[in-house]
């Protein structure tokens, strides 16, 4: 025994060594092949560029200019400006997003169409078939349908591109104001070209100038964008978009400032300021522009949005130009009356176009890759069949033909035989496949467009399919790349919470007003009852339902004041079950009115005052109502909150802020605060400070910013840092416990938490399935993350780390009654809800720090954007000394910004903490629930945004991209070696992570792109990550990320979704592009493959329509190939009885219309209306989506099984008919036509029965009606042939055959019935046995694959789910899970559990 054991161990060791050797060899071979393939591709690319692009098409790459492009400042140029790199004038301002032009459309389409393998195959078959004498099935039966189909596809593609041309023309025809001569006779040198292009008077017209800006020769003329040229002087008025890249010459803002919105350019929501150089201050008038002599030297066009290099020489002085003086195309002028600029880049050389995917390729369906493999396999089959039958003729000629005198002189050349057979059997690969596939896609598109569940009533916008060729791709998506602003969020900021003196208050005045308006509307409506929503997904959204319908407070079991919880109670989308503060800002105002002189009331008023003063918003009064123009939505939310709390900013200038303060008794007072200095916010400082003089003469500096910037600058910074460290440690401990608990949870096959758990109790019993858990989307309380790449000195990381729940809310502090003190001067008793404010501990700064940081932790875990406010009063002497330093910094010509920041550091010290704010970046309805379901569907979700890191991470928490227990890793090139950071992340992932998130910014991504080793290391790590957040990303970087994933993970399908022009590049690069009809316009919705109104509709688009269309198309392809293989196999077997001469078994007319009339409806109906599972099941169990990701419906093994079935059925039909006619029966008509017609009839009946009745699960009246029409149509065709066929000698004497000869033969009818009955019986027996075995858990295919009794639900057979759907109880439970309804009368356990007896009854 020991020797045997030693031998076994030795064998095991040898086997392991052998396996290791084989694996190493395979890996080395693969690397060598990849290297060789890369070298070949590089050589081919270089050859293509050298000989095709440069030699033939004359498209040589542009060399950089020697000293940049020189553009003089002239009102009108005597000569056209010439691009030094080209030697020609600068390109026009025309842009083109379409794929083709009139010149290249036909060549590109021909190449594209015939690079599709099937089209190329039919072309190769159709050309020899057209040669007379070679074909036995007609000369043009292949080439003409092929050309018609290709032409139809080309026309459709041309129409789609024509619509893009129309959109381009609309943009190119926008109006712009250009400074030109007033006289229409004195035109520019380009007037001749313009006259040839169209009527000049339609292109240009005068624009009235203001009275003080009149000029006798020149004036502002309105021209089309496409006529704007480099060197033109443009005037933009408020809310107008820039038609080209401009250098700012003048703006009406203070000190030449102009505010621009770059949403379409980089996706950022904050307004950005651009400042003209002081030397151009005279350019506010036409005369001043004419008198200004300047020359600009600028960098060559490039896609970098965040850097610009240039210089300008004016009056002998040379000044630098940066991005601070440049306005790019795609920007919109805001909060500025007008601005004047000089055009420097036009058309395709503008920044926005250089960041766009300018010439996207036509997209192909992923199933086409598998279909091409099938076509190759069937082509080989046709070749083998052709060669086999041809060799059969050679053998027959030698053995029979030469000895038979009646055919001895009728020898056929071998080449004609082999070509004839190739033409005969080419229909095994049916041309009708692609014709009918287009029809089914049109049907699928119409069903998608008319789905009322994806219709948005608010905007009257249905879902729209712009590209119907890739509908099945919707069912195979593995990666989603989403924009943030306008896609996940509504770009609406709401002030939501505040922390004052260690107490937390909820601000819900906006929600209460909206709820009151909704109640009034309901009362005035004719139907006062709550009507069901049009979209079922909306019912799952917490925000909207809570605002409209009363719900019980989640904290009602902890507080006696649950009756105060109204239908407007706010809940966090990231933590919907989190307990909210018991007091609101309405209660705060009540307390201030009751105790205006109490210490807490004074702190609260100081807090609101700081919010009302520390900002740059400009108020505007319209019709007695105040509105505000803000540089960022955050500031707007703060100023509006201050207004709601009684501190209205009535006026603001560069010198003073005027506040209208509500006294609480119906009266108001006005206070004016003098603005002394403003130290602006920057991405480096992460804070903003304002120095003001109070009405009483005191000087105060107020600072707001990220907590990491404010804490070290507090007066008690050491205490604050210590408290923050304690909270961070507590958060890390709870995070680790949460991670460990999640690792112990049941996981499905791809590592996710299952929505539904199936358990088998008794193996072998078909009624033994138990639904153990029906899990609605996760609503766990905490999201805790860890960050590896954050400086260790940071005491709390609101921008990087969400926080755990840290005990009881501080608004209901558990304070001993002995500590409660009531002021004896109170005029009247306070309500009990304010008792906690009499706690003396709220005036202890150490305790205040602890509680405030707890609040910040809670705010961040709820996905709210946090800020800290601090202030201090400055003695006049100290301010005077600092003011001199600050003035020197602001007037410095060298390192001005650095000196300003250094001066700010001097005064921004020793602050007193005022409080914290929490702002909600309002998500679109249903976003968290949708992302949660998509994650359960094994889809990795990435967020690519132009916003800053802190904002992106907060939104990721709110949208549940970061889920409970997520590990967040930040890659930052400024924090050290990226190689070591990536290695650390890889090591952490190896230790185990339930959900990992990587955060990277655009600058770090640019560093990664510049290094090949870093790029390989980064994209080797990324597929292991569950989610990625890319912030500060340019449109080109978004597109590059999508393209890299497509290359690095070739088996994964990508989907990009966005709503703005900055998302077009990634939308066109991905496999599937989805556009949202957002507030930024319809650019993305028009260009994308699919357009939806809201992000929440994406779950139905993918989980329901994606699954259905994938299954439909896959079944369509399988059944089409199956019926052709089955139908043509008897013809091949019949060749033995005709001497292998190629005689067809079937009559020509019937053969011609076989696919058109008798077997087209079955596959078309299957491809359009099939639903293997209901929409409710697919939404309730998102894991079923992996069916398409894993190609379970169409793959090579499944195709082989179907072809084997077709072959066996074809052989069975032939043998049955042959036996009936030759062995068992004596037919009245034993001719070729009767025999072939019998086989044909069996084929038609069996094909339609199998596809319509057996394979189609969702049998609608349309499907059953089509089955009846097809069957009736076949017998009508029999009668038609019998009556119209010419009465002449023929191998197929159809005249009166069905009526008088074989149609009256009992043998013919008995054979038909028996053969069809046998086929149906065999198929149904197999289906029933398989279904029962699958339900009982005994079906194992393939048999060598191990299975357990508790397989993940996505591993279970389709038959199980179809059985569950048959029971009304189970169907209702699945429907409720899909809609995520919460029945208040039922407990969670009762609602989420399913009785196994119900399942047994269903099965």
> Which residues are annotated as catalytic?
483
Q: Name the strand (E) or helix (H) holding 11.
A: helix 2-47
DSSP code of residue 1251: I
What percentage of the chain's residues is helix, strand, coil (to nearest 5)? 50, 15, 35
DSSP code of residue 557: T
Residue 224 contacts residue 232 (beta carbons within 8 Å): no
DSSP code of residue 171: H
Place of tokens 């109640």: 519
Residue 326 contacts residue 246 (beta carbons within 8 Å): yes
DSSP code of residue 1170: -
Q: Which of 470, 472, 464, 455 is nearest to 1091 (CA)?
A: 464
Angle between helices 414-424 and 367-399 (to 10 degrees): 140
B/e letters for 1150-1165, b = 16+ CB within 10 Å, e = fewer, are bbeebbebbbbbbbbb
Bridge partners of residue 176, in order along the sequence:
223
First-to-last alpha carbon distance for the chain, in angstroms, is 51
Residue 169, CA atoms < 13 Å, CB-side half-sphere: 6
DSSP code of residue 778: P
Cα diameter, the chain: 134
Residue 426, CA atoms < 13 Å, CB-side half-sphere: 28
Count of helices and strands (H, E) across the chain: 45, 38
Q: How many angstroms separate the Cα of 1168 from the Cα of each of 364, 430, 448, 903? A: 19, 19, 11, 70
**1120 alpha carbon, distance to own chain's centre:** 33
**682 alpha carbon, distance to own chain's centre:** 31
The strand pair at 245-251 and 310-314 is best described as unpaired
Give the 3-state secondary structure of residue 181: strand
Residue 286 contacts residue 292 (beta carbons within 8 Å): no
Rg of the chain, C-alpha, whole Å: 38
Please provide the DSSP assignment of 184-213 as one string: TTS--TTHHHHHHHS-HHHH-EE-PPPGGG
Place of tokens 């991905």: 1070
Q: Which of 1065, 1057, 1009 is nearest to 353 (CA)?
A: 1065
Give the 3-state secondary structure of residue 873: strand
Calpha distance 937→267 (Å, rounded):
28
Calpha distance 613→652 (Å, rounded):
10
1302 burial level (CB within 10 Å; 0-12, 13-18, 19+): buried
At 478, phi and psi to the nearest 5? -115, -25
Residue 1096 contacts residue 538 (beta carbons within 8 Å): yes
B/e letters for 14-30, b = 16+ CB within 10 Å, e = fewer, are eeeeeeeeeeeeeeeee
Q: Which two tokens stand for residue 11?
A: 């064998």
Strand order in the sheet with 310-314: 69-72, 294-298, 310-314, 317-321
Q: How many residues can be counted in the chain?
A: 1403
The strand pair at 1090-1092 and 1072-1076 is best described as parallel
Q: Which of 753, 1121, 1167 is nearest to 965 (CA)?
A: 753
């Amino acid at each position: 025994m020991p020797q045997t054991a030693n031998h076994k161990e030795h064998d095991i060791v040898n086997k392991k060594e052998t396996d290791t050797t084989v694996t190493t060899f395979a890996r080395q071979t693969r690397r060598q092949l990849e290297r060789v393939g890369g070298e070949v591709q590089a050589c081919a690319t270089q050859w293509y560029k050298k000989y095709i692009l440069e030699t033939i098409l004359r498209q040589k790459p542009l060399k950089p200019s020697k000293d940049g492009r020189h553009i003089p400042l002239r009102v009108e140029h005597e000569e056209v400006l010439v691009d030094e790199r080209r030697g020609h004038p600068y390109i026009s301002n025309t842009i083109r997003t379409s794929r083709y032009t009139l010149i290249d459309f036909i060549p590109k389409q021909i190449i594209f169409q015939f690079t599709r393998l099937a089209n190329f195959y039919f072309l190769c078959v159709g050309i020899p078939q057209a040669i007379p004498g070679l074909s036995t099935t007609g000369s043009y039966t292949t080439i003409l349908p092929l050309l018609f189909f290709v032409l139809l596809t080309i026309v459709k593609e041309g129409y789609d591109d024509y619509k893009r041309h129309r959109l381009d023309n609309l943009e190119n025809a926008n109006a712009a104001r250009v400074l030109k001569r007033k006289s229409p006779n004195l035109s520019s040198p380009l007037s001749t070209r313009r006259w040839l292009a169209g009527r000049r008077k339609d292109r240009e017209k005068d624009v009235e100038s203001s009275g003080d800006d009149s000029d006798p020769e020149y004036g502002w003329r309105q021209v089309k964008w496409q006529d704007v040229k480099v060197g033109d002087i443009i005037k933009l008025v408020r809310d107008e978009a820039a038609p080209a890249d401009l250098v700012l010459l003048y703006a009406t803002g203070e000190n030449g400032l102009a505010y621009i919105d770059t949403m379409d350019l980089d996706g950022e929501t904050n307004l950005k300021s651009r400042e003209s150089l002081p030397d151009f201050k005279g350019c506010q008038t036409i005369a001043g522009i004419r008198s200004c002599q300047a020359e600009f030297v600028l960098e060559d066009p490039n896609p970098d949005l965040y850097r610009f290099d240039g210089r300008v020489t004016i009056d002998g002085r040379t000044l630098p130009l940066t991005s601070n003086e440049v306005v790019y195309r795609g920007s919109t002028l805001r909060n500025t009356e007008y601005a004047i600029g000089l055009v420097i880049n036009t058309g395709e050389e503008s920044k926005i176009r250089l960041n766009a995917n300018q010439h996207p390729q036509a997209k192909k369906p992923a199933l086409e890759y598998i279909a091409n493999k099938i076509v190759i396999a069937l082509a080989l089959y046709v070749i083998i069949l052709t060669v086999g039958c041809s060799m059969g003729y050679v053998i027959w000629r030698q053995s029979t033909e030469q000895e038979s005198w009646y055919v001895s002189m009728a020898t056929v050349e071998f080449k004609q035989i082999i070509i004839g057979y190739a033409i005969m059997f080419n229909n095994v690969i049916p041309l009708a496949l692609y014709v009918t596939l287009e029809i089914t896609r049109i049907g699928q598109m119409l069903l998608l467009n008319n789905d009322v569940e994806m219709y948005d009533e608010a905007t009257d916008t249905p879902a729209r399919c712009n590209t119907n060729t890739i509908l099945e791709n919707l069912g195979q998506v593995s990666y989603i790349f989403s924009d943030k602003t306008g896609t996940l969020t509504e770009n609406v900021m709401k002030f939501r919470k505040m922390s004052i003196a260690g107490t937390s208050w909820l601000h819900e005045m906006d929600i209460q007003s909206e709820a009151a308006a909704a109640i009034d509307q309901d009362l005035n409506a004719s139907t006062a009852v709550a009507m069901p929503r049009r979209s079922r997904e909306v019912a799952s959204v917490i925000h909207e339902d809570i605002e409209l319908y009363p719900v019980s407070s989640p904290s009602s079991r902890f507080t006696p004041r649950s009756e105060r919880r109204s239908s407007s109670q706010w809940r966090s989308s990231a933590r919907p079950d989190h307990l909210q503060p018991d007091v609101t800002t309405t209660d705060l105002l009540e307390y201030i009115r009751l105790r205006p002189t109490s210490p807490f009331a004074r702190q609260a008023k100081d807090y609101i005052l700081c919010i009302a003063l520390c900002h740059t918003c400009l108020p505007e009064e319209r019709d007695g109502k105040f509105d505000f123009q803000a540089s960022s939505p955050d500031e707007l939310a703060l100023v509006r909150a201050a207004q709601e709390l009684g501190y209205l900013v009535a006026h603001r200038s560069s010198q003073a802020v005027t506040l209208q303060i509500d006294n609480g008794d119906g009266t108001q007072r006005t206070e004016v605060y003098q603005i002394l200095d403003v130290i602006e916010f920057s991405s480096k400082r992460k804070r903003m400070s304002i120095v003001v003089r109070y009405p009483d003469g005191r000087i105060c500096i107020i600072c707001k910013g990220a907590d990491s910037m404010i804490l070290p600058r507090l007066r008690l910074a050491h205490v604050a840092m210590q408290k923050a460290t304690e909270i961070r440690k507590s958060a890390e401990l709870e995070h680790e416990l949460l991670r460990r608990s999640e690792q112990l949870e049941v996981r499905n096959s791809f590592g996710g938490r299952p929505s539904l758990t199936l358990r088998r109790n008794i193996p072998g019993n078909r009624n033994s399935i138990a639904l153990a858990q029906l899990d609605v989307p996760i609503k766990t309380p905490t999201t805790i993350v860890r960050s590896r790449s954050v400086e260790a000195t940071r005491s709390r990381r609101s921008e990087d780390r969400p926080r755990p729940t840290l005990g009881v809310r501080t608004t209901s502090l558990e304070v001993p009654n002995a500590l409660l003190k009531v002021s004896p001067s109170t005029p009247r008793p306070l309500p009990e809800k304010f008792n906690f404010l009499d706690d003396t501990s709220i005036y202890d700064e150490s305790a205040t720090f602890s509680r405030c940081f707890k609040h910040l932790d809670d705010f961040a875990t709820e996905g709210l954007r946090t800020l800290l406010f601090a202030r201090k009063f400055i003695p006049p002497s100290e301010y005077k000394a600092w003011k001199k330093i600050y003035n020197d910094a602001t007037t410095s010509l060298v390192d001005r910004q650095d000196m300003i920041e250094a001066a700010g550091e001097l005064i921004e010290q020793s602050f007193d903490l005022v409080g914290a704010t929490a702002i909600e970046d309002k998500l679109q309805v249903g976003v968290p629930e949708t992302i949660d379901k998509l994650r359960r569907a094994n889809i990795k979700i990435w967020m690519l945004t132009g916003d800053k890191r802190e904002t992106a991470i907060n939104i990721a928490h709110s949208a549940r991209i970061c889920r409970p227990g997520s590990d967040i890793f930040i890659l930052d090139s400024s924090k050290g070696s990226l190689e070591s950071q990536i290695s650390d992340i890889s090591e952490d992932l190896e230790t185990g992570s339930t959900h990992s998130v990587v955060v990277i910014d655009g600058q770090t991504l640019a560093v990664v792109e510049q290094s090949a080793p870093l790029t390989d290391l980064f994209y080797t790590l990324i597929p292991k990550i569950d989610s990625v957040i890319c912030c500060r990303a340019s449109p080109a970087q978004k597109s590059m990320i999508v393209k890299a994933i497509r290359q690095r993970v070739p088996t994964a399908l990508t989907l990009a979704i966005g709503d703005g022009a900055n998302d077009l590049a990634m939308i066109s690069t991905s496999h599937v592009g989805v556009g949202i009809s957002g507030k930024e316009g319809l650019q993305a919705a028009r260009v994308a493959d699919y357009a939806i109104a809201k992000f929440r509709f994406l779950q139905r688009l993918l989980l329901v329509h994606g699954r259905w269309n994938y299954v439909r198309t896959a079944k369509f392809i399988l059944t089409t190939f199956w019926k052709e293989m089955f139908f043509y196999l008897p013809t091949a077997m019949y060749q033995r009885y005709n001497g292998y001469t190629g005689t067809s078994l079937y009559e020509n007319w019937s053969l011609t219309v076989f696919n058109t009339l008798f077997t087209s409806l079955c596959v078309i109906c299957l491809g359009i209306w099939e639903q293997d599972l209901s929409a409710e099941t697919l939404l309730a169990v998102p894991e079923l989506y992996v069916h398409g990701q894993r190609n379970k419906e169409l793959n090579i093994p499944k195709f082989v099984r179907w072809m084997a079935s077709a072959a066996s059925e074809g052989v069975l039909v032939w043998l049955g008919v042959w036996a009936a006619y030759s062995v068992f029966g004596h037919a009245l008509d034993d001719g070729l036509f009767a025999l072939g017609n019998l086989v044909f009839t069996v084929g038609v009946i069996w094909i339609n029965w199998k596809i319509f009745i057996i394979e189609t699960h969702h049998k609608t009246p349309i499907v059953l009606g089509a089955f009846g029409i097809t069957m009736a149509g076949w017998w009508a065709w029999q009668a038609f042939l019998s009556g119209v066929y010419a009465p002449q000698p023929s191998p197929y004497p159809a005249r009166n055959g069905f009526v008088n000869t074989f149609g009256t033969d009992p043998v013919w009818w008995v054979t038909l019935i028996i053969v069809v009955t046998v086929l149906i019986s065999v198929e149904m027996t197999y289906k029933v046995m398989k279904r029962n075995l699958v339900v009982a858990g005994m079906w194992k295919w393939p048999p060598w694959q191990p299975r357990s009794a508790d397989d993940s639900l996505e591993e279970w057979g389709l038959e199980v789910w179809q059985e569950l759907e048959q029971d009304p109880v189970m169907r209702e439970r699945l429907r409720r899970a899909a809609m995520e309804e919460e029945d208040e009368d039922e407990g969670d356990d009762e609602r989420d559990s399913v009785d196994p007896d119900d399942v047994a009854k269903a099965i």
